[in-house]
Structure 1
Amino acid sequence: MAVDGPDARLYGRERESQHLAGLVASARSGGGALVVRGEAGIGKSALLRQARLAAAGHGLLVLSATGTEAEARLPFAGLHQLLRPVLGRADELPDPQRDAVLTAFGMARGAAPDVFLVALAVLNLLGEAAAETGALLLVEDAHWLDPPSADALAFVARRLDADPIVLLAAARDGYADGFGALDQLRVERLDDAAAAALLDARAPGLPAGMRRRLLDESAGNPLALVELPVAARRFEHEPLEPARRPLTARLEEAFAARVPGLPAATQALLLVAAVNDGDALAEAVAAAAAVAGTAVTVDDVTPAVAAHLVDLDGTSIRFLHPLMRSAIRQRAPLARRMAVHAALAAVVGGHADRRVWHRAGACPGPDDDVAAELEAAARHAQDRGAMVIAVAALHRSGQLTVDPARSAARLLRAAELAVELGRHDVVGGLLQEAEARGLSFAQQAQRLWIVASFGDGLRDQKTGPVVLAEVAARVAAAGGPGADRLAMRLLNSGALRSFWSEADPGAGRRVVAVTEALPVAADDPDRLAILAFAAPVERGSAVIDGLRGVAARAGADAQTLRLLGSAAVIIGDFDQAEACCAASIPELRAQGRLGSLTRALAALAWCAAHQAGLGAGVPAAEEAARLALETSQPLFFGIARASAAVLAALGGHPDRAAALAAEAEQRGVAAAVRPVLATVQLARGLNALAEGRHADAYGELCRMHDPGDPSFHAGLRCFALTDLVEAAAHSGHRDAAAQVVAELEVAGRVTSSPALHAGLRYARAVLADDARAEALFREALNAGTSRWPFSRARTQLAYGQWLRRQRRPVESRAPLRAACTTFDALGTAPWAERARQELRAAGETSRIRPATGHDELTPQELQIARLAAGGLTNREIGQALYLSHRTVSTHLHNIFPKLGITARAQLHAIVGDLKGW
């Protein structure tokens, strides 16, 4: 804690001061973010003030914002406060980003922006503003930032490594603030020597007994060491009684004790300032006059400044510490606070969002007019991309609504939005409040969907697919506005639950039956997705036909294409899946819809894993996993990691594959997510195949086909048949594998799934007797699998092996040579080596594909290299990947030496085309 004045020293904070000084000094060479965390009064603000002075000495641009409880319901208030000095540069942003940030700040009208698109705009805006001087961003009381601002700043903070920007955020213990994943600087209480030095500097000449008591009471808290002596002298007795109360409460009492002796007008002005969601002095004066019932002027703030409660900063009034604000607000009677809200509602009438919250604060009971205004405020918040604020507004609207049915409707709507935010705790509370109003049948069905849809329906074991299907049938039969839509939503949740966690095929059949009974077009995208997830085998052919019809129609939006791509993956139509997902990704990136982008990338990675598409699959899996963590989608993190494990095994990286599989399994086991566990087993089986451990591979892969195993999945096992048969053929398990093939032959008569039929053709040839094998191999190779090179190359390898065993080495060379070439091109080194071994045994040598710099690139570097090879600029790549263009430049600086090139133009020849991106 400092003594007084801008250059005052901080006692006992040498380590923390040096750390912050080093960060600030390095801002121009590379950015970063740090959260300064500790209890109230521990000196976080003093450290940030010291950092501000250091930044000024280095000539850095300094931008700052302070979170307040009162502003926490105003969307993007904190972010707007931070960026206000540089908003004039918004026109330099790409149009979608400029429109997003201005819409978020209420400075323009447009489609509701995704918070991540706003965050990307902020990142680029700050990058341009800091380009010449570097910048320091200071966020005081970050725990009280409005949630959209906190989310956007956390997003930015994770991407500052290559920009000349340092972000320092001060956050109090005991609050959720969204900055937990950033580096933390813990500020502890002062040691005895530093505490004594600070006390003696601020309160010299204390009696020995009081000095000792103050040191004990303060327990090393700097604010207490400064303020408790003031309270002790004011009342001329021992510091504060009783001593056992929490220190924060005693500090609040010390601040509140300064108020009663102030003039009535000053007291009114202080209470207004404490309740207000803004800091304009004019607002406080005008509202205070209404509360006091007498004239109040700017001069009436002077006694509060003299009492060290507030400070004036131009036309703003600010409390010197947040505890002062809370102390004054909490000590005021409820009726007095309500009167202040009413006065502020009149004063801020030109700001609709602020006005309605003050009107709500002034309500003694239900009020339909205010409830309607809050509902409108919720819509406005949604339009600005501030979903958390929309939830809060609908929640309060429901509480103030007179009619119980309408109140429940607003609370249920709030719960729906909270589901999108991943806030299970908030959802539960809102549903309880809605139930207390009494729910109609339709509202009960809506409640069931809300519970089932949270976490893709895996959270509540009471909401199984059959239950959801039955309720959907009743909803559809009852009719009414929106009945079919609600029924489809329930069925979608049932289908997802069936896919992710159910082993009972009857549950999926019931979802299908109800879906097909609804008056919905056969090629409706939502209907097709439900059928794919609920019955990937039984309805596979119908879904394939429907998907191709929808995709062929012009004008499908990104969300529809993503949905179709996910459905196509599930039924094994990988060509269609790749086309739909790849087509959806650019628009989802541009819209900033990172939640949907995560799912599209995960589906693309999953598809690539089954086709050995390492070039597109590895970066897609890496980005999907990173975004899944950012968007709170644990199921898709598991799928992305499991897909990455498969790709690592195919590429011949056994240690990485094993580590990724273990990480994915941890996620999958915890929630019994069968698709994740099945993909983990596929990765482990492929890893064993890659190392020539065929018996181990068979043991891993056969688990996917055992209905009693947690990794069994009736749909996904159809796409791992080639792997199982390859392992079985080399480990003495041909008969056991033949039984699995027979089961899947039955499935093949039901679905036209390309992936299943490719596996069946391979299995028939490999497991056939010598009299039929050659014809079956030729049939498999003539089946039009040129778009699936890995599948074709594995068939060529198996055919060449069979020919050599038949003592036809010369004939075996052509398919073996073709297989080796394909495996080399794909980067599936273990299979390429196996083909070379067979070629050598057949009397032909093949040069080993030399390692290239391409193999040394990280997944993100590979992704950036592919985009650069496709002609995108650094700015365009940054916009696509939600990185700053400087970060992209840094990556390219590392990529060029790895690839042995010196110019961007050389990338295309090495990295290849931009397919899928």
Structure 2
Amino acid sequence: MAGLTTVTGPLRMYGRSAQLHAIDALLTGVRDGRGGALMLVAAPGLGRTTLLAHSVRSFRSLRSGTALSTRAVPAESLIPYSGVHSLWCTGAAPRPLPKEPGALLAVVRELAGGHPLLVCVDDAHLWDAASRAALGFAARRLGGPHPVGLILSVAARRADDPHLAGLPVVHLDPLAPSEAAALFDDVTRGGADTVVRDELLHAAAGNPGALRALVAALTPDQLAGRAPLPRRLCAGSAPAYGGVDPSELPPETRELLLLAAAAHEPGAAGSGADAELVLRAGAAAGLDVAALLPAEAAGLVRRTADRICFDVPGLRRALYAGAPPARRRAAHRLLASALDEARAPALPRRLHRALATTGPDARLATALTAAAEAPGAAPSPALRAAALSAAADLTQTARDRALRRAAAADHARLAGRPAQARELLAAAASESADTRVRGTVELIRGRLALGDGPVADAREALLLAAELLAPHDPESAREARLGAMAAAWDMGDAEAYLAALGTPADCPDAAQSASADTGPRAERTRTEEPPPTRPSSPAPLPHSSPHASPSEASLAEASLAEEYRAAMAVVMRGRLRAARHGLRGVVALGQDAEEPSRLLRAGVAALVVGDLPAASRINARALAAARASGAEIHVPQALEYLAYAELRAGRHARARAHAEEGLRAARCTGQRNIAAQHHAILALVASMEGEDEAVGAHAAAAARTADRHGLAQASTLVQWALARVDLGRGRAPEAAARLGPVVRPGPRRGHFAVRMLAVPCFVEAAALAGEPEAARGCVAEFAAWAAQGADPQAPAQLARCHALLAAPEDGDALYAVALARHELVGGDFESARTQLLYGKWLRRRRRPGEARGRLRDALVSFERCGARAWAEQARAELRATGEAGAPEPPGGLSGLTPQQLRIARCVAEGATNREVARRLSVSPRTVDHHLRNVFALLGVRSRVELSRLVARSEQLTAPDEP
């Protein structure tokens, strides 16, 4: 039990950024003399021990103190103070150990001796009760001046231990699919067969311990795909389950666990199985409820009032897949009988009966399909997918079997299970070459590629699906065209979008809508820029019988889709004003819907027409509907549209919250394309807040996927975010160079939905860089776009652009117009940018008194919305007008004038005299004159010495970290 844990070899962490950040913050505090504690909580196999080893390594790398580590031994859990004694032995404390609640606190403080000390305790829940009480007592008192840090790990099932209450908790969840894949590639060095890779990732369910154990159990030939995988691949291993091998449990316990695994509703991860159902089925087999106790004692399952939950990720699947088929069928037979007695809903009863059947059964397959497709209070897509897959297994006719398999694949897609969907699609495609089967398979493949794949490939698959399905299923053919439109939008290809709409005969309302605007402006306007969003992903694939009459919901969806197609045909021809009536009709038709797909389509229409309150309301409703129905595939997209609405309304903090949540959801559902969109949104938010490192990280992540999959919208947003960083730091020429190709015509032109929104940034950068002529053509195009009412901020931004490019005598009036328009629509950030530019303009015209008022207003607004880099610009401008700032430290920069101080700081950042002149709107000769005076006043001889002096001064004036 005692002894220092030894860690060999480099540790690579996957998917633990939040946990590592919390640990690094604690270690830094200990190094700086502030104590603290953390409790790592996770199920077995999720990496508690690895994180503790990382903590020890990181602390030792600081070379500023001592790190001690110990691990509990279950055999000593009944010996009072055995845990405290183990730590006492590890640290070789020089005096006898007192046995009292404060013993551990005295020990660690004595071991520290006033120097930084890190103590790590693994599996602290296995310590004896007296030691756990001492551990909690010490951990709660480590804050303050004592440089002692304590990190302990606890099993998830013991996280509510009252002895450890009140400690800061860090939870470890299963790895996201991309993170688990990266770990697998590292463990196997990229040498595994792709099919084997997918099988093992699916079996491990994001549990890194289980993944490593599964890989270790295979031979090199099995990993390479040259030998078959073992039948019990998913059975797991003792190391993955906290040292407990499920196969060593009593037979009655294993039987009851299999019943619980079989009773688990598909898609209800974490919610467990119905305890009453499992126990009733077990009683029918002669199993007593006490048979569950060994599994509970081992920490494998947890029983609440009405549920039986598997605490170890992957264990439920491992138990079920590892059982012989005959035992699985027997379990489902018992569950079906128990459900019959309780008169439960038809779908779960028929599903269990189907899973207990050994051969084709046309009658049961038809009944199960009908239950899975029943309208009303629909079950989750995951349950529908399981039911339709089981119905396909019972179906003898190849065509019908393939169609049911494809329908199951689409519901698996909706449930956020792309791997399962692709597996079902492959089976469906191999079972029948029927035209409708091929069209349905291509439709679902295209939809999957929309979320994770090259969008040009997705468009081609969806267009092929529309062609194949048109004679057999017009409704699905229409949905395929809508999906092709979405792919073309992501590609940034307006012509491809119009082609996906179909011929004029397919979209008869387009011409009628286009003629609705009869004014001369409508005929002249040919801009192509709707706001930054893309059409919604298609509605769920209809699975009803081809002979059934269309339902009211189906007719409403068809009406909404046709209205949407007609309106977007007009929008994409550059006539947003003519399409407004149709778009508002889409909003009206879909805003009260219950289906996520209809709500998302209405939410897109609201964004395109510029109705941001409606867009926020409808997309929030779509998010709630997706979660309530289990359509996990729609959750990240609803959050993306919500983030766009918040961004355009100037609510950046809300946009960040939605995008962060959307990024997690996109990763969990395997939608890398939507994850890239969320990264781009987060880069934009960070560019406003002045978080340069975050901008770079999110921009790089978005660009990686955008470049591979052809996501033009994400690529354009990334360039816009990076240019805003340049502008916020006063690097106007760099911002102009980055945005020029995006907003101007040419082969590198940005996405048609984003480029107009970036024009005000480009105009500002070009004007500040002394190149106003480069922006005049863009302003004319922006004016035509703004006149169509696409964006509430556009009129104020247009007036600001005119002010930046106007003659000096017109500047006052144009800035006044811009500020008045900002008052009408709100938005602190854009209004503050106008105030800042106006203040700069006034200062350059030697009107410092007027400039101060504008700059103070800009500073307050920037601080209110968290735009730190922009706020610093406003402060610097205020200092240049003579406004008193924060006092400099004695012997520092306090003797410089405001202008000299600004020049000194720019030079300290590495700017040349010419670059400083551009930033401050002065001549290079003026900069040279001031810089010579700065050198003389500060007694420095080089730019390097000046940079060091400025850095020391900034450190002394920086506020203390909370």
Q: TM-score band (shorter)? A: 0.5 to 0.7
* Residue from 732, 745, 766 that aligns with 1:728: 766
CA distance in 1, matches of 2:775, 2:713: 21
Matches of 1:328 and 1:826, distance apart in 2: 55
Is 1:371 the counterpart of 2:365? The answer is: yes
The answer (yes or no) to whether the contact 1:342–1:359 under 8 Å persists in 2 is no
Query: What does residue range 865-904 of structure 1 map to in structure 2 within 5 Å?
Result: none
Counterpart check, 1:33 vs 2:72: no
- Corresponding letter in the other structure for 1:524: L
Q: CA deviation at 1:371?
A: 1.8
Deviation at 1:714, TM superposition (A): 0.8
In structure 2, the residue matched to 1:829 is 868
SS at 2:707's partner residue? helix
Alpha-carbon offset, residue 688 of structure 1: 0.8
In structure 2, how many angstroms separate the alpha carbons of the residues matched to 1:367 and 1:598?
39
Distance 1:724 1:627 in 2: 33
What one-letter code is carried by the residue in structure 1 that aligns with 2:42?
A
* Structure 1 residues 800 and 154, CA gap change in structure 2 (3 angstroms): closer
CA distance in 2 between partners of 1:617 and 1:396 (Å):
42
Task: Quote the residue 1:176 is aligned against.
Answer: 202
Match of 1:450 among 431, 444, 468: 444
Q: Which AA in structure 2 matches 1:449?
A: L
Query: In 1, distance between residues paired with 2:822 and 2:317?
Result: 73
Checking the alignment, whether the CA contact within 8 Å between 1:606 and 1:639 is kept in structure 2 is no
Do 1:496 and 1:533's aligned partners in 2 also have CA atoms closer than 8 Å? no
After TM superposition, the structure 1 = structure 2 runs for residues 243-322 of structure 1, keeping only pairs within 5 Å, are none
Contact 2:445–2:461 under 8 Å retained in 1 = no
1:505 aligns with 2:495: yes
Deviations 1:417-449 (A, max 9, x none): 122244444434433443455566555443332
Distance 1:811 1:270 in 2: 81
Matches within 5 A, 1:838-849: 838-841=877-880, 843=881, 845=883
The aligned counterpart of 1:603 is 641
| Corresponding residue number in structure 2 for 1:635 | 673
- Cα pair 1:612 1:647 within 8 Å, conserved: no
What SS class does the counterpart of residue 177 from structure 1 fall into?
helix
Counterpart for residue 833 of structure 2:
794
Q: SS of the counterpart of 1:732?
A: coil
Matched residue, 2:697 = 659
Shift of 1:548: 5.4
Deviation at 1:680, TM superposition (A): 1.1
Given that residues 491 and 515 in structure 1 are in contact (C-alpha distance below 8 angstroms), is that contact kept between their aligned partners in structure 2? no
The 3 A distance-change label for structure 1 pair 713 and 610 is same
TM-aligned CA distance change 1:523 to 1:681, over 3 Å: farther
Give the whole-Å Cα distance in 2 for the aligned partners of 1:709 and 1:825.
Answer: 40
Q: Which amino acid aligns with 1:832?
A: A
1:349 maps to 2:358: no
- Is 1:672 matched with 2:710? yes
Using the TM superposition, give the Cα deviation of residue 689 of structure 1 relative to its aligned residue in structure 2, in angstroms.
0.8
Structure 1 residues 175 and 666, CA gap change in structure 2 (3 angstroms): closer
Distance between the aligned counterparts of 2:322 and 2:707, measured in 1? 51
Corresponding position: 1:718 with 2:756 = yes
Deviation at 1:588, TM superposition (A): 6.5
Change (3 A) 1:537 1:722: farther
Q: Which amino acid aligns with 2:394?
A: L
Q: Any residues of structure 2 matched to 1:461-610 within 5 Å, and which?
A: 465=459, 468=462, 472=466, 483-484=474-475, 486-508=476-498, 510-511=500-501, 514=506, 517=509, 524=560, 527-528=563-564, 535=571, 538=574, 540-541=576-577, 545=581, 555=592, 559=596, 563-569=601-607, 574-581=612-619, 596-610=634-648
Given the superposition, is the C-alpha separation of residues 619 and 342 from structure 1 closer, same or farther in structure 2, using an over 3 Å criterion?
closer
- C-alpha distance in structure 2 between counterparts of 1:812 and 1:249, whole Å: 75
Which amino acid in the other structure matches residue 368 of structure 1?
A
Q: How many residues align?
A: 617
Q: Is the 8 A contact 1:468 1:491 kept in 2?
A: yes
The separation in 1 between residues aligned to 2:317 and 2:693, in whole angstroms, is 53
Does the CA contact (< 8 Å) of 2:203 and 2:317 recur in 1? no
Question: CA shift at 1:537, angstroms?
Answer: 7.5
Q: Do the aligned partners of 1:457 and 1:463 also contact (CA within 8 Å) in 2?
A: no
Distance in 2 (alpha carbons) for counterparts of 1:530 and 1:183: 53
Residue deviations 1:738-796 (CA, integer Å, cap 9, x gap) = 23333444544666443444443332332233455444433333335542232223223
Offset of residue 131 of structure 1: 6.7
1:785–1:501 Cα change, 3 Å: farther
Contact 2:454–2:708 (Cα < 8 Å) also in 1: no
The change in CA–CA distance for 1:731 and 1:801 in structure 2 (over 3 A counts) is same
- SS at structure 2 position matched to 1:598: helix
SS of corresponding position for 2:450: coil
User: What aligned pairs does 1:132-171 form with structure 2 within 5 A after superposition?
Assistant: none
Distance 1:534 1:663 in 2: 34
**CA deviations over 1:617-650 (Å, ceiling 9, x no partner):** 3333333323332333323322222222222222
Give the aligned partner of residue 932 of structure 2.
none
Structure with greater contact order relative to length (CA < 8 Å, sep ≥ 6): 1
- Which stretch of structure 1 is more off in the superposition, 680-689 or 627-636? 627-636
Residue 411 (structure 1) aligns with: 405
Deviation at 1:413, TM superposition (A): 0.9
Identify the match of residue 388 of structure 2 among 386, 394, 397.
394
Contact kept? 2:438, 2:465, Cα under 8 Å: no
AA matched with 1:828 = A
Superposed, 1:104-119 pairs within 5 Å as: none
Q: CA deviation at 1:497?
A: 0.6
Structure-2 residue corresponding to 1:4: none
CA contact (8 A) 1:558 1:584 kept: yes
What SS does structure 1 have at the residue aligned with 2:774?
helix
* Contact in 2 for aligned 1:571/1:715 (Cα 8 Å): no
* CA deviation map 1:303-359 (0-9, x unaligned): xxxxxxxxxxxxxxxxxx9999999987xxx9xx69x95998499634468986786
Aligned-residue offset at 1:681: 0.8
| Offset from partner CA, 1:449-494 (integer Å, 9 cap, x none) | 2121114266366756587468658967x587xx34x244223312
Question: Which deviates more from structure 2 when the two are superposed, residues 595-604 or residues 633-642?
Answer: 595-604
- Distance of 2:594 and 2:877 partners within structure 1: 48
CA contact (8 A) 1:495 1:534 kept: no
Pairwise CA distance, 1:400: 2.7
Normalised by the size of structure 2, how large is the TM-score? 0.52
Change (3 A) 1:457 1:538: farther
For 2:99, the equivalent position in structure 1 comes to none
Q: Is the 8 A contact 1:466 1:494 kept in 2?
A: yes
Q: Aligned partners of 1:359, 1:591: CA distance in 2, in Å?
A: 24
Give the superposition deviation at 1:687: 0.8
Helix, strand or coil at the partner of 1:454: helix
The alpha-carbon distance between structure 1 residues 510 and 274, as it changes in their structure 2 partners (threshold 3 A), is closer
Q: Which moved more, 1:678-687 or 1:761-770?
A: 761-770
Unaligned runs of 5+ in 1: 1-8, 17-27, 39-49, 60-125, 136-150, 159-171, 191-216, 220-243, 253-268, 289-296, 299-320, 851-896, 901-917
Give yes or no for contact 2:838–2:854 (8 Å, CA) kept in 1. yes
Q: Is the 8 A contact 1:540 1:753 kept in 2?
A: no
What code does the residue aligned with 2:872 have?
A: E
Give the letter for the 1:417 counterpart: H
Q: Does 1:769 align with 2:807?
A: yes
Q: Which whole-Å CA distance do the structure 2 matches of 1:644 and 1:676 have between them? A: 11
Give per-residue Cα distances to partners, 1:550-583, cap 9 Å, x unaligned: 6679846594555544444456554544454456
Distance 2:463 2:199 in 1: 45
Match of 1:781 among 819, 839, 850: 819
- SS of 1:32's equivalent in the other structure is strand
- CA-to-aligned-CA distance 1:800-847 (integer Å, 9 cap, x gap): 433444455554444444333322322223323333444454x45266
TM-score, normalised by the number of residues in structure 1: 0.54
Which residue number corresponds to residue 117 of structure 2?
none
